[in-house]
């Protein structure tokens, strides 16, 4: 049985899973995850030196049979309701880095928002905000 991750670990699980779900973890996605952990206030008490270890733990869980389902349950169980939108927003940020969202990534976002029971208007706002931030000329 996997122990319940901390809030910060659960948020990292959401980002790492988003990056890994299409089996291609890009350098841009890894840089984005590192940047988010380094900059956002929610990670202020998180030891950045534990990021790789946390990502590896997430990968270990994902490699198990029913790993994706286990990760989704861990994320939902570890986060207070007020941080469900945050988890989704961070996953969307990682998906948007490459400016091309794969079918696997879209499916993971659907599963994540369902497991977090997010409102459709909130989902649309988060996704639109990410598109606006990642536009190119």
CATH of the domain at 74: 1.10.3680
Classify residue 56: in a domain, yes or no: yes
Per run of 10 residues, the mean pLDDT along the chain (length 137 residues) is 86 95 81 94 94 93 93 96 97 87 90 96 94 84
Is residue 2 domain-resident?
A: no
Determine the Cα–Cα distance for residues 6 and 125; give it in Å rounded to an integer: 27
pTM: 0.92
Q: Domain containing 57: what range?
A: 7-133
Angle made by CA atoms 81, 83, 87, in degrees to the nearest 5: 120
What b/e sequence results for 56-66 when a residue is b if at least 16 CB atoms lie within 10 Å of its CB, and e otherwise? ebbbebbeeee
Nearest to 25 by CA among 45, 69, 55: 55
Examine residue 1 and state whether it is found in any structural domain, yes or no. no
For residues 42 and 50, give the distance between their C-alpha atoms in angstroms, rounded to a whole number: 15
Question: Does residue 35 belong to any structural domain of this protein?
Answer: yes
What pLDDT, on the 0 to 100 scale, is given for residue 11? 98
Residue 99 lies in a domain: yes
Number of domains composing the chain: 1
Whether 11 and 79 have beta carbons less than 8 Å apart is answered as yes
Measured from the Cβ of residue 132, the count of other Cβ atoms closer than 10 Å reads 9
Residue 43: the pLDDT is 96
The CA distance from 90 to 126, in Å, is 9
Residue 78 counted as domain residue: yes
Domain membership flag for residue 44: yes
Residue 83 lies in a domain: yes
């Amino acid at each position: 049985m996997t122990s319940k991750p901390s809030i910060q670990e659960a948020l990292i699980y959401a980002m790492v899973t988003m990056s890994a779900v299409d089996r291609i973890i890009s350098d841009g996605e890894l840089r984005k995850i590192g940047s988010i952990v380094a900059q956002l206030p929610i990670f202020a008490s998180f030891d950045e030196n534990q990021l790789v270890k946390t990502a590896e733990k997430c990968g270990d869980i994902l490699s198990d049979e029913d790993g994706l389902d286990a990760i989704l349950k861990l994320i939902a169980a570890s986060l207070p309701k007020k941080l469900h939108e945050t988890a989704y927003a961070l996953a969307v940020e990682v998906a948007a880095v490459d400016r091309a969202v794969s079918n696997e990534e879209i499916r993971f976002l659907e599963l994540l928002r369902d497991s977090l029971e997010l409102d459709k208007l909130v989902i649309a706002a988060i996704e639109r905000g990410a598109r606006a931030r990642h536009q190119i000329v």
